[in-house]
Amino acid sequence: MRLRSLNTTLVAGISALLLVACEREAATDSLPAPPRPVRTITVEKREQLTPLTFSGRIEAEDEASLAFRISGRLQSSDIRLGDRVEAGQLLAQLEAQDQLSAQRQAQAALAAAQGQLTKARNHFERQQTLLAQGWTTRANFEAATQAQQTAQSNVEMAEAQLSSAHDQVSFTELRADAPGKITEKGPVAGEVVQAGQTIARIARQDGRDAVFDVPAQFVRAAPPNLPVSVSLTDDPAVTAKGRIRQIAAQADPITRTFEVKVGLTDPPAAMRLGATVSGRVETGSGPVIDIPATALTRINRQPAVWIVDPSTNVVSARNVDILRFDQADVIISQGLDAGEIIVTAGVQALHSGQKVRVLGAAP
């Protein structure tokens, strides 16, 4: 009997202890969970810059084609590609026998006209004296006056013809109009050339352009005076800065591209004429929302983010559409608005309706 009473007492004690433990556990479960610490950012819109790269070449900013003004047989040509020339330097010469002959004829005609003018002037002066003394008639005096005026006109015409002959002789010489470098060579000595036919092309030393052939989409989107970074294709370390200064008004009929000239600022000496270069520009495509890649999670098998209600610090999930992403950033096309707060660290341990505490904020 005494043993049975002891067992009963032990059972009652264990039951009481279990009851107390259950009550404590129930009280613990009824306490709210502490806010989950997270990191957040406020969503902002920014201008999206899209990098574009084109291949081109270096050309002179000011380049001119030189040609004779008259036709003839090329007597000499001292032009070599790459030669540096000075202003006024003789580049090529035509055979000038016909022009020199015409010049001599014009000189002779002028001398004859001047002789006739001297004779007519002397006759006019005599008639003027005789008319004053009453020894000649008014008709003779007027005839002498007319003869002097005609002789004067003949002299002026002969002088104009001689000047034209001098010009024709000078046109047989082709000289550089400015310092620069020969970039193109035309006919050689002995060939017959026509007026206006290119004999040489000179790149003047005023500046350098990077020239690119770009599609029409870029021409429509590019703002005026757009900055461009230019580098040598075979040595990207050689770079220069420039800005678009000219866009062709018409597309190339074969490639359907537009020629764009970029004026370079202090280009290095290594960027020689004809060198192949790469041009890089960044064009804006409108404001976008970008967020850190760590803010992205997956809910309902779709990309999503956690939105924080600033008044309650409670999170809710929202699916978003992704425009583009990389390892660091994600470009959002739809689903977020500027000013909203999203979680960027701790997204994997959250659930809808959970209260959070922003790290760095007061608990």
pLDDT value of position 245: 86
Res. 39 pLDDT band, cuts 50 70 90: confident
Assign 273 a pLDDT band (cuts: 50, 70, 90): confident
pLDDT at residue 50 in the model: 67
pLDDT at 27: 42
What radius of gyration do the chain's Cα atoms show? 47
Q: Give the per-residue pLDDT at 173.
A: 93
Evaluate if residue 3 carries a pLDDT over 80: no
* Distance from the Cα of residue 120 to its chain's centroid: 69
What is the chain's mean pLDDT, rounded? 83
Which pLDDT belongs to residue 326?
72
Could you give the angle at the alpha carbon of 201 between the alpha carbons of 199 and 202, nearest 5°? Answer: 135
pLDDT in the model for residue 6: 44
More confident residue, 360 or 53: 53
The mean pLDDT of 36-57, rounded to a whole number, is 81
Tokens for 282, please give them: 């960044």
Contacting residues for 335 by C-beta, under 8 A, at least 6 apart: 305, 318, 319, 320, 321
Average pLDDT over residues 311-315: 85
Q: Is residue 301 over pLDDT 80? A: yes
Judge residue 117's burial from the number of C-beta atoms within 10 Å of its C-beta, 0-12 exposed, 13-18 middle, 19 or more buried: buried
What's 355's DSSP letter? B
Confidence of residue 95 (pLDDT cuts 50, 70, 90): very high
Q: 267-291 burial string, b = 16+ CB within 10 Å, else e?
A: beeebebebebbbebeeeeeebbbb
pLDDT at 59: 87
3-class DSSP state for residue 80?
coil
Number of helices followed by number of strands (H, E) in the chain:
4, 22
